Amino acid sequence: MRLDVLHRPLSAPDSTSAQSGARQELSARTQIVRRNLKSSFPLHFTLAIAAILSITPAFARPTPGSPSPLAAALAMTASPTATMLDAKLTLRVYNYARLDPVSLALSEKNASAIFANVGIEVLWMDCSVSSTPRAFPACQSRMGPLDLVLRILPRRMAVKLATRDEPLGSAQTCTESEPACEVNVFYHRVDDLAIQGFRADRVLGYVIAHEVAHVLLGPRHSEEGILRGEWTRDDLERISWGLTLDFTKEQSRQLRNAVLRRTGQPVPDEPTRANLVAP
């Protein structure tokens, strides 16, 4: 906003009165300017504040359909692994051990987190073990190489498959193009560990991850991490306490690439399958 000073015609100065008149004129102009400044300052200040307030909501309010500022900030700080979950597996779960749904869901969540750390998303499909499977029509759909069958077995069923080593589970050896490869968990062994004070839901999640890794990489074990042939008490305590027991960096790369190959997606140059399962 521009301030206009009054302009008045001045007569030529011919005397002392003229000088006095000039001083009066200057004083009058000064008073006008001061009054205008005093009256305009609050207006300027008000306009400036109004402008700021009118601009702020434009940044504070997201446009319709866009994420909130908090969601956007969280997306920017998300783990890089979360953006790599284009490798996906589906596990059809048959709970023959009649494990309660809450505990089973916790175990599935633990296994999902383990595979998410290596860039693999696991989709869970809980299927009926009753004689009326029509209640679960999705479980009757055709299966492909990315569809695995997870069977959680009670003692009476597990003893027919378990060996003298009393493992926690087993995995079927399948080619990468074979559908419906089976993974078995012997839940009575998990239950035995729970009696010793270990967290059954977390142990089960790690057993599932261990056996699924065998489907993808083969039957060999490693000397450390999840794919150890036998977990120590320290390993089981770490699992129970929620501390990580990971795949090795090389195993993580191999697992992700194994899933990508099953999808037909290109994978980086890598060793042969025989090298992947070397101890």
Residues 123 and 62 in one domain: no
Which of 33, 49, 78 is a domain's end point?
A: 78
Which of 38, 60, 78 is a domain's end point?
A: 78
Residues 44 and 169 in one domain: no
Within a domain: 6: no
Residue 210's CATH number:
3.40.390.10
Residues 25 and 92 in one domain: no
CA distance 19 to 27: 12
Residues 67 and 92 in one domain: no
Within a domain: 161: yes
pLDDT of residue 7: 33
Residues 99 and 51 in one domain: no
pLDDT of residue 99: 95
Choose the weakest-confidence range: 101-115, 117-131, 203-217.
Answer: 117-131
Residue 245 has pLDDT above 70, yes or no: yes
pLDDT of residue 35: 53
pLDDT of residue 159: 87
Within a domain: 12: no
Residues 206 and 73 in one domain: no
| Edge-to-edge order in the sheet of strand 181-186 | 120-127, 87-95, 147-153, 181-186, 169-171
Question: CB of 221 within 8 A of CB of 279?
Answer: yes
Residue 124 has pLDDT above 80, yes or no: yes
Residues 103 and 125 in one domain: yes
Residue 277 has pLDDT above 60, yes or no: no
Average pLDDT of the residues in 153-172: 86
Within a domain: 269: yes
User: Of 137, 115, 71, 150, which Cα lies nearest the Cα of 226?
Assistant: 115
- The domain of 267 spans 87-276
34-68 residues labelled b (16+ CB within 10 A) or e (exposed): eeeeeeeeeeeeeeeeeeeeeeeeeeeeeeeeeee
**Predicted confidence (pLDDT) per residue in 77-103, tens digit:** 334 444 456 899 999 999 999 999 999
Which of 78, 96, 113 is a domain's end point?
A: 78
Within a domain: 8: no
Question: CB of 237 within 8 A of CB of 196?
Answer: no
User: Of 148, 154, 143, which Cα lies nearest the Cα of 174?
Assistant: 148
Between 65 and 255, residue with greater pLDDT: 255
Residues 61 and 164 in one domain: no
Between 279 and 141, residue with greater pLDDT: 141
Within a domain: 13: no
Long-range contacts at 44-49 (CB < 8 A, ≥ 24 apart): 44/1, 47/1
- The domain tally of the chain equals 2
Q: Could you tell me the pLDDT band of residue 6, with boundaries at 50, 70 and 90?
A: very low
pLDDT of residue 136: 74
CA distance 53 to 24: 44
Between 135 and 235, residue with greater pLDDT: 235
Give the mean pLDDT of the chain. Answer: 75
Within a domain: 1: no
CB-neighbour burial class of residue 107 (10 A; exposed 0-12, middle 13-18, buried 19+): buried
For residue 77 the two structure tokens come to 């700080």
Choose the weakest-confidence range: 16-20, 146-150, 206-210, 238-242.
Answer: 16-20
Query: Given the structure tokens 């498959």, which residue do they identify?
Result: 161
Question: CB of 97 within 8 A of CB of 129?
Answer: no
Residues 40 and 164 in one domain: no
Residues 34 and 157 in one domain: no
In 3-state terms, what secondary structure has residue 223?
coil
Residues 28 and 62 in one domain: yes
CA distance 111 to 58: 43
pLDDT of residue 11: 35
Element (H, E) at 151: strand 147-153
Average pLDDT of the residues in 53-59: 36
Question: CB of 146 within 8 A of CB of 263?
Answer: yes
pLDDT of residue 275: 45
Residues 128 and 147 in one domain: yes
